[in-house]
Homo-oligomer: A and B are copies of this chain.
């Protein structure tokens, strides 16, 4: 797919569907022969349901790197920052051309919270091989990220069961 020009997608907003849209995009692309990698920032150590499924799918690699500071295994902010350095290194390497589609899941959240450096993230976007389809997800997309993107969808929460006091459920939220 050498003549392919990859675009930059951002899925942001407060509604459910950002990470799942990126996962679904990788699933669709893999079916067309794209070599895909999903790097999950800030999802914590517990593996998601998606890890189990996608580990068995050829053409999709999935890596979970970095600590979280919300939830039961929260770490302090400096620990989170340090834990995300390998995620940034992995992202930098992934956009070099080895993969056709690269997902940086929750990288937008991490940048908006300041646990990764926004300028570093923008440099990764700029430095990518032109063939790479690059997908970033997470809340609070900065205007500089929106400007750098070709496709931006805001997942807007209209109604959410957490508002009714329901908790996150395995298989649905993680």
Most buried by B among A53, A54, A133: A53
Return the CB mask of A26-53 against B: 1 if under 8 Å, else 0.
0111111110000000000000111111
Contact of A159 among B19, B21, B33, B149 (CB under 8 A): B149
State the copy count for this chain: 2
Assembly CA distance A156 to B154 (angstroms): 5
**Which A residues contact B (CB, under 8 angstroms)?**
7, 9, 11, 13, 15-25, 27-34, 48-54, 56-57, 59-60, 100-101, 133, 146, 149-161, 164, 166, 170-172, 174
Contact in complex: B28, A171 (CB < 8 Å):
yes
Interface of A is mostly: mixed
Given A17-B155, A28-B20, A171-B57 contact (CB < 8 Å): no
Contact of A153 among B16, B31, B56, B150 (CB under 8 A): B16
- 4 further contact pairs, Cβ within 8 A, besides A20-B24, A23-B24, A154-B156: A28-B171, A31-B54, A150-B159, A154-B158
